[in-house]
Structure 1
Amino acid sequence: MIGVLVTFTATGKFDRSTLEKIAGELRGPFEGMPGLRLKSFMLDEDGARARNFYVWDDEEKARAFFTEEIVEKVTGIYGAPPRIEFLDIVGFVDNSGS
């Protein structure tokens, strides 16, 4: 498994309701996406950074998703270019089935 942390840093602050709308509108394409275990849409405490966290089954699928076209698209959606970090998941707890 591999995690991907995508961070958008605002010049001011992100509006929570706008990010909730973005999350709602973008949820559909990720549901059932092959290789994607989960995706979360997050906002940090001070509102300066929006973060998306992905957990993928394998690195190849994760890296293949983040094309130049995707980066360009999300830059337009969030109004800031993303910082994309690939993280090796060395342990995982999933309580969703309990």
Structure 2
Amino acid sequence: MITVITTFRLSTPITQEEARTIFLSTAPKYQDVAGLYRKCYVLSQDGSTAGGVYLWNSQEEAEAMYTENWRAFVREKYGTDPLVTYFETPVVVDNVTHEILSDDQAGSAA
């Protein structure tokens, strides 16, 4: 499994309420994306940085998302370029499903 963290500095800080409205407007774009298990939208406490934490089945599936078209979408929506960082994710503790998942079980992950 792969975790990707995307971040982007906002030119003007936003409130949690503004972030929620923006994030809800883009959330449907991420439903039913091949290989994407979860996406968590994030906002820094001072409202100056936003982004996402994504859990993917594989790096190839993740890379299929972060294309120049996706980057252009982020630039248009937030007025800044995203930083995309990939992490190997050997183990996930899921307290909702009460599972501990490992990357050797990726096909059956959350």
Q: TM-score, normalised by structure 1?
A: 0.90
> Offset of 1:13 from its aligned partner?
1.3
Q: Supply the distance in 2 between the matched residues of 1:8 and 1:20 (Cα, whole angstroms).
A: 16
Q: Matched residue of 1:92: which SS? A: strand
Q: Matched residue of 1:4: which SS? A: strand
The total of aligned residue pairs comes to 98
Gaps of 5+ in 1: none
Sort the Cα spacing of 1:79 and 1:15 in 2 relative to 1 into closer, same or farther, 3 A.
farther
44-53 or 13-22, larger mean C-alpha shift: 13-22
Say if 1:14 and 1:50, in contact at 8 Å, map to a contact too.
no
Q: Which residue pairs with 1:41 in the alignment?
A: 41
User: What amino acid does structure 1 have at the position aligned with 2:90?
Assistant: V
Please tell me the root mean square deviation across aligned C-alpha atoms, in Å. Answer: 1.3
Superposition pairs of residues 1-98 of structure 1, within 5 angstroms: 1-98=1-98
Q: TM-score, normalised by structure 2?
A: 0.81
Percent sequence identity over aligned pairs:
28
> Offset of 1:32 from its aligned partner?
2.3
Which consecutive segments of 4 or more residues in structure 1 shift more than 3 A? none
Q: Which has the higher contact order (CA 8 A, sep 6+)?
A: 1
